[in-house]
Amino acid sequence: MTTSTKKPRVSVHKFASCSGCQLAFINMGENLIKLTELVDIVHFAEAGPLGPDDEVDISFIEGSITTPHDVERLEKIREKSTFVITVGACATSGGIQALKNNADSDVWMRSIYAKPEYISSLSTSAAIKNHVKVDFELWGCPVDVKQMLAVVRQLLYGVAPLDINEKVCQECKRKNTVCIMVTKGEPCMGPVTRTGCGALCPSFGAPCYACYGPAENSNVKLLGERFIGLGLDQNVVKRKFLSIHNATPAFAEAKLLWSDTEGAQQ
Amino acid sequence: MAVQFLAPESLQNLLTVLEASGYQVMGPQLSEGAIVYDHINDVADLPRGIETLQKPGSYKLQQTSSTRFFNWANGPAALKPLLYKARQALWSCEQVAQAVNGGFVFKDLVPQAVPTAVIGVRPCDIAAMLIQDEHFIQSEYCDPYYKAERDALFTVAVNCSSCAETCFCASTGDGPSLDDGYDLLMDELDSGFLIRAGSTKGEQVLKKLPVTAASEDLTAMAAEQSAHAAEKQKRYLLDENMHANLFSQLDNRRWHDIAERCLSCGNCTSVCPTCFCHRETEQAELDGQSTRHFREWSSCFNADHSVMHGHSLRDSSELRYRQWMLHKLGSWIYQYGRSGCVGCGRCIAWCPAGIDFPAEANAISGEVELWEA
Ligand code: SF4
Ligand code: SF4
Ligand code: SF4
């Protein structure tokens, strides 16, 4: 962090993503105005400011790395930033688009596009940390603005941001939400998923989708077996893990654990 | 005042008198497929005829032909969320222009507790509350946040006539009937309620109810009902030397075996009515001028529970499960003179993985005979 009295400089960059996390940023309302009083936003294309090559104190990065050009751009951003924070599933774990890592992307490209030679793309969708050093990760699909603001505040105070990696169940219980896995046999991903959403889905009676990715010390095998015990097909169980955060090592274990009964491509 | 009789049609009077005495009344109700304590002003909202079917990792409600109001065992939450709040603001701090105290103004955020009466409290819940009382208010440091809620609480306990498969309070000595710790205590019989006061507050409420002296037949019937409920419990916890047994088994293979079945989700500790572990967090305003300091429920199953100098000492489910059991059934005895388990069975039913806490404890202590075929 800078020690001068100048306002810290912040940039927001985008790679392969739906822009939902940047929208979460823009939708923060009054706090966005407050934020601009505390920091200089030098690059945030979706909101206006353009200065992609400027030196900054904090870079927020949304999106995964899918092209050779992405790699170059990312390396430059890393060089110019003191603190790099990934925002959202795509940047933090490769996103839903990392499902392509399990397929032959050349075959796909040739079968979909009339002129595949116009496309320059990597065979994988990778998390930012697979290419450069990341200082802090904000999980979620999309991220929670409260978490994002808390991180900015902690950095402005000059302390390392606090990482809470407990499971969704913990928040569920704090909210006094009745567990839908225990009462209704719903296949809830809460017991392996990182908190952050405030246990939103279970509080509306819907099983957790694992938007925030794997929590620390996640027992994927046991939860999958439990789902099978609740009557789910192996293939459905596998898909529950190979979703938004399919490329995380914890959830990718599902590929080895459960066979593909429908014969879809590996 | 001796044991009194309250007719079923006079149960509404209890709610009315409690309200007239200045309490907001809470009672058991059906919500999201479970029995939960919520605001109540009409006995019609009580879970009449409902029974709970509780098994490892499973909780179901069943409508029966019974006309009883309290024929269920328990729900996911005891009194804990009302007294030891899941998220409690402890204090706030504001930065001001004047140079007093370095420009900081601290404020204590002890709550103005709302006088609350809870009806349908289970004996194990009262037992758990007495344990938490000891932890929070009778120790060297009295917790003003818990105390404020506790002082404002009025309990109407009901002895259990129907236990769930997961209950084992008889073996811990905390149920299915209660000796003390309540303001009012009832037994529910087919013909009506036996009711007695256990405190001055309770006596004042009892005086205003349309009661008659209870016959000896009825009190005998109630005692028999409780004894019968106790006999039906098949789960139990070995109590002879449990703490010494557990501490002699730190390297038992079974910890590893449990860890393979455990999600490390901490649901067991959250529903446990005696668990009190928490973390403290800071919620600062974005402008950095003010902040609030919170205490929130945490668990020995969370990594940050055992962090020292940036390193989590208990980094596996094996060590975390061992910590939970050794504290609850072992070192708790050195701390509070009794085990921290009241046999409510919540950690069994509400464990998404269906791990059976007393079965595991008994097995680790050398008793492998199980109740389920
Ligand atoms: S509903 Fe899901 S997140 Fe909530 S306690 Fe149950 S398993 Fe955990
Ligand atoms: S350890 Fe389990 S059975 Fe014992 S009091 Fe806690 S939740 Fe109830
Ligand atoms: S014993 Fe059950 S409730 Fe407790 S942490 Fe393990 S899986 Fe979760």
Q: Which domains does chain A have, with CATH numbers?
A: 9-156 (3.40.50.700), 168-257 (no CATH)
C-alpha to C-alpha distance for A128 and A38, rounded to whole angstroms: 27
B355 Ramachandran zone, left/alpha/beta (phi>0; psi -120 to 50): beta
* Amino acid in the structure at residue B32: E
Map tokens 């179901």 to a residue: B60
C-alpha to C-alpha distance for B128 and A66, rounded to whole angstroms: 55
Give the neighbor-by-neighbor strand order of the sheet with A56-62.
Answer: A40-44, A9-14, A56-62, A81-87, A136-138
Give the mean pLDDT of A13-18: 97
Alpha-carbon separation of residue B102 from A256, B283, B288, B342 (angstroms): 59, 20, 15, 48
Q: Write the residue with the smallest CA distance to atom 2 of ligand 2.
A: B347
Q: Which of B239, B251, B238, B189 is nearest to B215 (CA)?
A: B189
Q: How far is the CA of A55 from the centre of ligand 2 (A)?
A: 55
**pLDDT beyond 70 at A198:** yes
Query: Both ends of chain A: CA-CA distance in Å?
Result: 45
pLDDT in the model for residue A29: 85
Interface contact flag, B57 A156, Cβ < 8 Å: no
Q: Which of B59, B199, B178 is nearest to B124 (CA)?
A: B178
Give the mean pLDDT of A27-39: 90
CB atoms within 10 A of CB B97: 5
The residues with which B28 forms a beta bridge, in sequence order, are B37
Q: Which of A133, A141, A4 is nearest to A63 (CA)?
A: A141
- Chain A neighbors of B33, CB-CB under 8 A: 178, 180, 183-184
Q: Which of A151, A169, A170 is nearest to A159 (CA)?
A: A151
Q: Which two tokens stand for residue A79?
A: 């060089």
Q: How far is the CA of B323 from the centre of ligand 2 (A)?
A: 14
Distance from CA of A257 to the nearest CA of B (A): 15
Q: At what angle do helices B254-261 and B317-325 cross, to 10 degrees?
A: 110
Question: Which residues touch A42 (CB under 8 Å, ≥6 apart)?
Answer: A9, A10, A11, A49, A51, A54, A56
Number of helical (H) and strand (E) elements in chain B, helices listed first: 14, 16
- Low-confidence stretches of chain B (pLDDT beneath 50): 373
Looking at the CA of A183, name the nearest ligand. 1
ipTM associated with this complex: 0.95
Interface contact flag, A31 B304, Cβ < 8 Å: no
Give the single-character DSSP code of B185: E
Looking at the complex, does the CB of residue B257 fall below 8 Å from at least one CB of chain A? no
C-alpha to C-alpha distance for A132 and B124, rounded to whole angstroms: 55
Q: Which two tokens stand for residue A131?
A: 């290419």
B15-45 CB burial, b ≥16 within 10 A, e <16: bebbeeeebebbbbbbebbbbbbeebeebee
Give the mean pLDDT of A143-162: 91
C-alpha to C-alpha distance for B1 and B254, rounded to whole angstroms: 52
DSSP H helices in chain B: 11-20, 80-83, 123-136, 144-151, 169-172, 200-207, 216-232, 242-247, 254-261, 267-271, 317-325, 332-336, 346-349, 357-364
Atom of ligand 2 nearest to the CA of B346: 7
CB atoms within 10 A of CB B373: 3
Interface contact flag, A217 B317, Cβ < 8 Å: yes
Would you place residue A265 in the very low, low, confident or very high pLDDT band (cuts 50, 70, 90)? Answer: very low
Q: How far is the CA of B351 from the centre of ligand 1 (A)?
A: 10
Interface contact flag, A152 B31, Cβ < 8 Å: no
Atom of ligand 1 nearest to the CA of A177: 4
pLDDT in the model for residue A53: 93
Give the single-character DSSP code of B315: -
C-alpha to C-alpha distance for A165 and B318, rounded to whole angstroms: 18
Pairing of strands A81-87, B184-189: unpaired
Report how many Cβ contacts below 8 Å link chain A to chain B: 127
Q: How far is the CA of B174 from the centre of ligand 3 (A)?
A: 23
| Cα nearest neighbour of B38 on chain A | A176
- Chain A neighbors of B354, CB-CB under 8 A: 226
Report the Cα A227 to chain-centroid distance in Å.
24
DSSP H helices in chain A: 20-26, 30-38, 68-80, 88-93, 105-112, 145-157, 168-174, 180-184, 200-203, 220-229, 234-241, 249-257
Q: Is the peptide bond before A142 cis (omega within 30 degrees of 0)?
A: yes
B238 Ramachandran zone, left/alpha/beta (phi>0; psi -120 to 50): beta
pLDDT in the model for residue B373: 42
Q: How far is the CA of A98 from the centre of ligand 1 (A)?
A: 27
B247-272 tens-digit pLDDT:
999 999 999 999 999 999 999 999 99
Question: Which residues touch B348 (CB under 8 Å, ≥6 apart)?
Answer: B54, B55, B56, B166, B235, B354, B355, B356, B357, B358
Interface contact flag, A184 B286, Cβ < 8 Å: no
Q: Which two tokens stand for residue B26?
A: 């809470």
Choose among A156, A184, A192: nearest Cβ to B288. A156
Q: Which two tokens stand for residue A78?
A: 């890393």
Atom of ligand 1 nearest to the CA of A188: 2
Q: Which two tokens stand for residue B136?
A: 């929070």
CB B236 within 8 A of CB B348: no
Distance from CA of B127 to the nearest CA of A (A): 21
CB B194 within 8 A of CB B187: yes
C-alpha to C-alpha distance for A182 and B367, rounded to whole angstroms: 28
Q: Chain A neighbours among B 58-87 (CB < 8 Å)?
A: 58-60, 76-77, 81, 86-87
Would you place residue A5 in the very low, low, confident or very high pLDDT band (cuts 50, 70, 90)? Answer: low
pLDDT in the model for residue B238: 87
pLDDT in the model for residue A1: 46
| Burial (0-12, 13-18, 19+ Cβ within 10 Å), A47 | middle
pLDDT in the model for residue B140: 87
C-alpha to C-alpha distance for A14 and A103, rounded to whole angstroms: 24
Would you place residue A2 in the very low, low, confident or very high pLDDT band (cuts 50, 70, 90)? Answer: very low
C-alpha to C-alpha distance for B249 and B275, rounded to whole angstroms: 23
| Cα nearest neighbour of B285 on chain A | A153
A76-131 tens-digit pLDDT:
999 999 999 999 999 999 999 999 998 898 898 899 999 999 999 999 999 999 99
CB atoms within 10 A of CB B233: 22
Would you place residue A256 in the very low, low, confident or very high pLDDT band (cuts 50, 70, 90)? Answer: very high
Number of helical (H) and strand (E) elements in chain A, helices listed first: 12, 5
**pLDDT beyond 60 at A209:** yes
SS3 A214: strand
Map tokens 């557990």 to a residue: B246
